[in-house]
Amino acid sequence: MLNIANPDDHIVIIVSGAFGNRFKQIAETYYSNVHVFEVTWGKSVNVDQFIDYIKSLNVKITAVFSQFCETSTGVLHPIHKLGKSLKTYDKDIFFVVDGVSCIGAVEVDLVKDNIDVLVSGSQKAIMLPPGLAFVAYNDRAKQRFNEVTTPRFYLDLNKYIDSANNHSTPFTPNVALFRGVNAYVDLVKHEGFNHVIERHYLIRDALRAALTALNLKLLVDDDDVASPTVTAFIPNTKDELSLIKNQLKSRFNITIAGGQGHLKGKILRIGHMGKISPFDILSVVSALELIFTEARKTNYIGTGISKFMEVIHHES
């Protein structure tokens, strides 16, 4: 952000969850002209409505910031359509995308998707501990890095670019994670990147079918914009939410995440990114079946698993 916008520039943040809200908080720390486009949590951005919104601002917009996958809700934004529509409206707008929780599990192309800067991290689908950030940028963005006057030091991308040209880094690197990235690349090459993407979407579809069969409501109700890396669902009661999370951990050694922001205590999230197989997620589904059979006094044994395997068989 500090490498793209000057202090007096107008920037737009798409907020559809906790991490969009974090973008907003970062922006408001450094900039006075921050415009926020709010999207209902669990919904994907409506591109036409968004373009109408930035038109209504009637100011020169320097940059638009959006998540690719909003991790807190498990929704994907239509990045390709969004990038194309932005550049059609104003080709000078910089489109900056946070791909932390989906890069490595989705198709993305900076040129075709009209993305100027794409950022990601090591700790999600790339399967490593946190500690590395990845930044992809085009030539236009690189030129912008040199023009921006916003003060920055450790996150001055020019330092990293200059050092990379000399096969080095400006500060002490996490060498262990660099080696981890090499191992990740080897795994992807062995499996084939297209298959990696297909596997993530297959598990997404199967898990959504299984959760629905277990009478759980999905937070993202549109299959087309559901994330292939994380699925959020709504337990029937607060007591059921606590029961699910606690028993998965204590009885089955399975950890899933809760909600964030105003969804805290209302949803649970299952991550299925990285080197995850259908059989890994089957263990979660079977554990849920047992928990619900005991708690709801209704036999759910096989209910979720059969739907899960039905999707696996149909889509494989």
pLDDT tens readout for residues 134-163: 999 999 999 999 999 999 999 999 999 999
Q: What is the mean pLDDT of residues 130-137?
A: 97
Judge whether residue 284 has pLDDT over 80: yes
pLDDT of 314 reads 87
pLDDT of 265 reads 97
CATH superfamily of 192-315: Aspartate Aminotransferase, domain 1 (3.90.1150.10)
Q: What is the mean pLDDT of residues 186-205?
A: 98
- Tally of residues, the chain: 316
Phi, psi torsion values for 37, nearest 5 degrees? -105, 110
Phi, psi torsion values for 154, nearest 5 degrees? -65, -30
Q: Please, what's the b/e burial string for 64-91 (b: 16 or more CB within 10 A of its CB; e: otherwise)?
A: bbbbbbbbbbbbbbbbbebbbbbeeeee
Judge whether residue 243 has pLDDT over 80: yes
Judge whether residue 283 has pLDDT over 90: yes
**pLDDT per residue as tens digits for the range 24-58:** 999 999 999 999 999 999 999 999 999 999 999 99
pLDDT-derived band at 104, boundaries 50, 70, 90: very high
Give the pair of three-digit tokens for residue 193. Answer: 């990147």
Short-list 236, 233, 239, CA closest to 209 = 233
Q: What is the DSSP string of 14-30?
A: EESSHHHHHHHHHHHHH
pTM listed for this prediction: 0.96
pLDDT of 157 reads 98
Q: Which SS3 state, helix, strand or coil, does residue 171 take? A: coil
Short-list 214, 215, 220, 248, CA closest to 232 = 220
Q: Where are the domains of the chain?
A: 10-121+133-173, 192-315
Short-list 101, 105, 278, 300, CA closest to 206 = 278
Q: What is the mean pLDDT of residues 111-138?
A: 97
Judge whether residue 72 has pLDDT over 90: yes
Rounded CA-CA distance 14/21 in Å is 8
Asked if CATH classification 3.40.640.10 holds for the domain at 10-121+133-173, the reply, yes or no, is yes
As a whole number, the mean pLDDT across the chain is: 97
Judge whether residue 254 has pLDDT over 90: yes
Judge whether residue 89 has pLDDT over 80: yes
pLDDT of 184 reads 97
Short-list 100, 26, 93, 86, CA closest to 51 = 86
pLDDT-derived band at 315, boundaries 50, 70, 90: confident
Judge whether residue 226 has pLDDT over 90: yes
